[in-house]
Amino acid sequence: MAATASTATPAGRWWSSPDGLRLHARDYPGAEGSAKLPVIAIHGLTRNSRDFESVAPYIAASGRRVLALDVRGRGLSDRDPQPMRYLPPTYAGDVLALMAQLGIAQAVFLGTSMGGLITMAIAVSKPKMIAGAILNDVGPEVGKAGLMRIAGYAGQPGPAIDSWDDAADYSRRTNAIAFPDRPQEFWDAFARRCFREDAAGKPVLDYDPDISAPIRAAGPKALTPNLWPFFNRLARHAPTLLVRGETSDILDSAIAEKMRRKARTMAYAEVPGVGHAPMLDEPEAKAAILEFLARVP
């Protein structure tokens, strides 16, 4: 199914979490046509709604409204004064609050990394609210090498960032393993998704450093979650697409193959030459997502 990118400008959408935080999403209107369920797009651990700025337009052009979330502690959403609440069950409650406040009874979920874990959590608590799920480079087990790599920089003091050139260099150092041989303009754009300007005009990472507090508190246990019951519930209940980066160190090939054995009807796409996690604007990912969305309400 072909879809050209929508030119619609997203609106800022605000909602209240169950514990009183003010949260933000980018709301992309779907192209005119027959009514379709919206897509709720949820980013990874240290990212924000801008991760979907090249994805949401082509999904919107296919006729679906897209709500790209800033999970609490990221982007324009409030930071949590109690960092130990930075956990998937809390995030899942925030998503359900958004759906309730906007009158959305059911949606298709698109979750990158942590966003996929949040989707699995919702599949356990409110399975009927998920009409379909796209998991981007995440599964019920997580590769230890990848988690240790992310834990090495998430929430940790980094080098001084004094300019957007510095921000692009930092982005390359921490993510070149996933996106080798990318040109400078790729990293310039990548930095603009991950950083914002502070009051002094300097780029700063656009998330609360304390998002890693629960990971630090859990210690080694944080590296070995077992979410197979969550995944099994999701795959049994709703059509599912798994997108994997060919060289991913978070979703390694063994875990992906086990997921495919457990969920025989799950659609699958692999993005060549990419690690954790595909940006989803790659041709292989885009084609798989549009084909999948054409088959769900």
Question: Helices 114-125 and 88-102 meet at what angle, rounded to 10?
Answer: 70
Percent of the chain scored above 70 by pLDDT? 91
- The reported pLDDT for the residue numbered 155 is 57
pLDDT in tens, 141-166: 987 776 667 666 665 666 789 999 99
- The reported pLDDT for the residue numbered 1 is 46
pLDDT in tens, 212-231: 899 888 876 665 568 999 99
Second-level CATH architecture of 11-155+209-293: 3-Layer(aba) Sandwich (3.40)
pLDDT in tens, 161-200: 999 999 999 999 999 999 999 999 999 999 999 999 999 9
Residues in contact with 177: Cβ distance below 8 Å, sequence separation at least 6, in sequence order: 149, 247, 249, 275
- Binned at pLDDT 50, 70 and 90, residue 112 comes out as very high
pLDDT in tens, 62-99: 999 999 999 999 999 999 999 999 999 999 999 999 99
- The reported pLDDT for the residue numbered 153 is 65
Average pLDDT over the chain, rounded to an integer? 93
Coil/strand/helix, residue 103: coil
Residue 234 confidence (pLDDT) above 70: yes
In eight-state DSSP terms, residue 245 is E
Q: What are the residue ranges spanned by the domains of the chain? A: 11-155+209-293, 160-206
Percent of the chain scored above 90 by pLDDT? 84
